[in-house]
Structure 1
């Protein structure tokens, strides 16, 4: 009974360990505004991300030009100049500043949608007008003809579709609650399972191997999540940019999975070596004292 109870507790602790790492990553890393901005800031130098942002901005500016100046101006001589200028703008320091400001706005909008019930009833959107204004100023500084006539309108891009906001909110609330008690529950279950075991060394070895297996499964889940995320994108051209963003945001989670794997294997190896050494150590020879001889009469 002790061994069965110990095995159940250790197995449950090993299952909860990767789940606790996932919840802690979502709440304390991904939902932290400062960490999110610092994580996404280097992506402004990624070529795939720059090209994807430039395409979105060029399309938004082209739509505005078509509404204000007509389709001929958007598709004629002005259109290619605008697209080329937008791509050039993504290589400037002003773009890096706009990129950080845009990511900050996106993060605030998503957090407001998932934390406050009913705060956002439609899709979560971000306005590209401030970035478009910077592009127009960049074109005007380069003395591009008709740059001052490029319209800067409110252009909202959906970050989270309306049908996914409710599910995202429920998932965030569940992870927020789990991040507080899952790590503590994992530690309590592991310690209790090892304490009630008939052979604590074997229970400790099993806990280490189970923790390593949980870390490996978490790393596999990150890889599968990347493939599924990129496969769901309708635009294949922007998949390299989405992959770069995914890799940046899950870097901490990948590190946590490798730490679980390394910690589990280390604990299991040390426990096995300690038990193996104990079994191979020969017992000390018993010292016998001869009985005193009887004196003859």
Structure 2
């Protein structure tokens, strides 16, 4: 018998075939119950299957969504990008790399050999002994070394000064559009893709450096021709492929997080056991964020191995990588903290023995707090009765407000999540104390948490 089939015709009343029919026999009733149970099982299996697919998609998309959101936020937002790269100006490894690069390129534009040859000719014209004229050519090495040391000292003073921090910040603010060009092929500025390298143009700094050299006594520095002012930032073996991938992530950066969140919410809504599915979602997202952190560590090793020391010293390359991805790492850690808090809250709301013990202890604590208020003459009256009768509603509002705060917070950190969580717990405890102090009812056994049902 199919419980969803039309009601059988009534043979006793042909004029009313859809009317009342004889009651089911015991066998028919048993068959009807069996078919209803089978239909219910099929329905639950369908819900579990759909929820599993949705949850799997949400969990797998979560690290991609975090990376795409980081790219969209950090690369396309000028203030965020400057905030990302600003600490590099204070890093000794980066300062040393910039100093060495600028020194080498300034000295390479000084024709030391021509200077020694001119000195030799001057000595010869002055009737100097032939040995002295011949030995003057040996001054090329020491002279170049002396010039290099002097230029390096001046460059180091410039790079380690507060002026360099300003120049660095302004240069990166100007080149923010060029970073977009590197990753998406749009715009133009000082940062450019040169072969398999991403380079930064420090023309302003180099011009100021020539001025400082002139003021330091190197009068010929003002006559130095245009110096190559490009400083390599990153080196990627397959930059074109990386650009294509990042361009795609940048396009979907706004929508992927929304899609992943919507899939997770839909999976929890479709599943028969919402609380259990919420816990599964928290575990899945937390695990994927840990995988993302491991992936960043592996990518760091691959990146450092791919950068030749002649292009960028290993310590400078490591500092640059760690600085550029630090907000991405922070986002992954933040989501891990959110996942742990969500898992803990979902467990405490369930029927587990540990959850019941915690809820009972919380009820005892808030009840004791309420009785203490009453002894002090502070009674909540009708407000306390209302809070006591609407605990599930007030609890949901407070938790929802905390979740909404984190959702609207601009770049939340693990510390921000911890503070918001602490405020939520404090407010819930305060509401529990107020609900336990109406002043006209006994309090023993009163629970602070809403009743739950097993799943």
Instruction: Indicate the residue corresponding to 2:85 in structure 1.
Output: 40
Query: Superposition pairs for residues 32-181 of structure 1, below 5 Å?
Result: 32-66=77-111, 72=140, 75-116=144-185, 123=195, 125-144=199-218, 146-157=220-231, 164-181=238-255
The SS at the match of 1:153 is: coil
Query: 1:222-237 residue pairs with structure 2 within 5 A?
Result: 222-235=296-309
Label 1:130 to 1:154 Cα distance change in 2 as closer, same or farther (>3 A): farther
Q: What's the CA shift string for 1:132-158, capped at 9, x where partnerless?
A: 221121122233464444444344455
The structural deviation recorded for 1:50 is 0.4
**For the Cα contact (< 8 Å) 2:268–2:274, is it kept in 1?**
yes
- 2:284 matched to 1:210? yes
CA shift for structure 1 position 161: 6.8
Q: 1:17 and 1:218, CA in 2 relative to 1: closer, same or farther beyond 3 A?
A: same
CA shift for structure 1 position 82: 1.1
Residues 108 and 64 (structure 1), Cα distance of their counterparts in 2 relative to 1, 3 Å cut: farther
Q: Distance in 2 between matches of 1:141 and 1:253?
A: 44
Residue 76 of structure 1, CA deviation: 4.2
* 1:122 CA drift (Å): 5.6
Is residue 158–residue 164 contact of structure 2 (8 Å, CA) maintained in 1?
yes
CA contact (8 A) 1:214 1:260 kept: no
State which drifts further: 37-46 or 272-281: 272-281
Query: What per-residue deviation string (whole Å, max 9, x for no partner) do you get for residues 254-281 of structure 1?
Result: 1111111111121122212221358969
Unaligned runs of 5+ in 2: 1-44, 117-139, 358-455
Q: How does 1:272-291 map to 2 (within 5 A)?
A: 272-277=347-352
Match of 2:295 among 198, 221, 238: 221
CA RMSD of aligned residues (A): 3.1
Please give the per-residue CA displacement for 1:91-125, whole angstroms capped at 9, x wherever unaligned.
Answer: 12332233224434544333224333798896465
Whole-Å Cα distance in 2 between the matches of residues 121 and 114 of structure 1?
Answer: 9
Matching residue of 1:29: 74
Q: CA deviation at 1:164?
A: 4.2
Deviation at 1:172, TM superposition (A): 2.4
The correspondence for 1:262, drawn from 329, 337, 349, is 337
Higher relative contact order (CA 8 A, sep 6+): 1
- 2-structure distance, mates of 1:20, 1:260: 12
Q: What's the counterpart of residue 326 of structure 2?
A: 251
Range moving further from structure 2, 55-64 or 86-95: 86-95
Secondary structure of residue in 2 paired with 1:224 = helix
- Contact residue 286 and residue 336 of structure 2 kept, 8 A: yes
* Cα distance in 1 for residues equivalent to 2:325 and 2:295: 11
Q: TM-score scaled by structure 2?
A: 0.55
Change (3 A) 1:275 1:125: closer
Q: Distance in 1 between matches of 2:331 and 2:210?
A: 43
Which range is displaced more, 109-118 or 59-68? 109-118
- Flag the 1:70–1:19 CA change in 2: closer, same or farther, 3 A: farther
2:317 aligned with 1:242, yes or no? Answer: yes
- TM-score, structure 1 length as denominator? 0.82
2 CA distance for matches of 1:19 and 1:48? Answer: 31
CA distance in 1, matches of 2:186, 2:289: 34
Cα distance, 1:141–1:5 mapped onto 2, change above 3 Å: same
Alpha-carbon deviation of 1:21? 0.7
Distance in 2, Cα, partners of 1:110 & 1:65: 33
